[in-house]
Amino acid sequence: MNTNDIITSTFLVNSVEVKVHAVQTGLISVKENFLDRKGAGPMSKLNIVFGKRYADFMPIWVWVIEHPEGIVVVDTGDIEASAHRQFYNDETILSKLTLRVMSNRRNISKHDELDAQLLRLGIRPDQVSKVVLTHLHGDHTDGLKFFPGNEIIVNEAEYRKPYGNLPTTYPKWFAPTLVNFSKNRVDQFDSAFPLTRSEDLLLVPTPGHTHHHASVLLKTDSAHILFAGDTSYKQQQLPDFSFAGSNIDYDKTRRTYSNILGYARKHPLIYLPSHDENSGNRLVNREYLIN
């Protein structure tokens, strides 16, 4: 798979064709103990710090949904500049230290960045109706710079209490629309925020990776699709109840996994984490989390 691959699949939503694009904005590699938890409690974080081995490079997926109510982008991917130390010059000393000890490796070119990828789809960034962020980590927010005039939606609780974010890397104009979940909007997840008037596209709570991580749920006529951000790094972590070492709250992660699996037992669900190398193929092949 090339780093700038785009995979497209078409679904019917209320009998209208909706294109969903899996857009790969480069590659990232993290420490193995970041990807898979080793040890309990604080030891899981110390084992990341002292770990030396890196996992294979993973894609950084962005999801582009050509919905009848407008084009929706889920997360913004990463940019070439993020691989260079000067990109973080204005961060606090503590943040710089954390970056150094947690460390990751990036393989991103200008051609991988989201503006170039959208143009390959015939979409200008200013044509995007909404940008929805699952959480505020750099490999999901660094592409914000391409959307200065667009509505950007963030779960308010995530914005007020972020975890592991790097605020000086946001564009200076960044002032997202903050939203809150309403109760009894979607089964299993219970609460949700509708992103479309038809309520076939919803922001749902999936905390654990960060305190208030969220995912985007698209209800098509044949299947439901969960654009899952970093809820897990690999699909198999869900049925195995295997957690990433990077997660802030394992109890929340466990409940989130249970909610997703419960939802998948009720509805045919395509589960698409942002760093699973098979997410694009699962989208186009209609592979369900539970068959």
Confidence tier at 2 by pLDDT (50, 70, 90): low
The C-alpha R_g of the chain, in whole angstroms, comes to 18
Percent of all residues in the chain with a pLDDT value above 70, rounded to a whole number = 99
- Look at residue 1 in the predicted model and tell me its pLDDT: 47
Of 286, 288, 282, give the one whose Cα is nearest residue 61: 282
Domains, the chain, with CATH or none: 6-285 (3.60.15.10)
Q: Which amino acid is at 248?
A: I
- SS3 of residue 99 by DSSP: helix
Q: Give the rounded percent of residues in the chain with a pLDDT score beyond 90.
A: 88
Q: What is the pLDDT of residues 234-246, one digit of tens each?
A: 999 999 999 999 9
Give the model confidence (pLDDT) of 57-104 as tens digits.
999 999 999 999 999 999 999 999 999 999 999 999 999 988 888 889
pLDDT 10s digits, 9-55: 999 999 999 999 999 999 999 999 999 999 888 888 889 988 989 99
Query: Among 31-45, 218-232, 254-268, which stretch is predicted with the lowest mean pLDDT?
Result: 31-45
174: helix, strand or coil: coil
pTM of the entire predicted model? 0.96
- Report the relative pairing of strands 6-13 and 16-30 from DSSP bridges: antiparallel
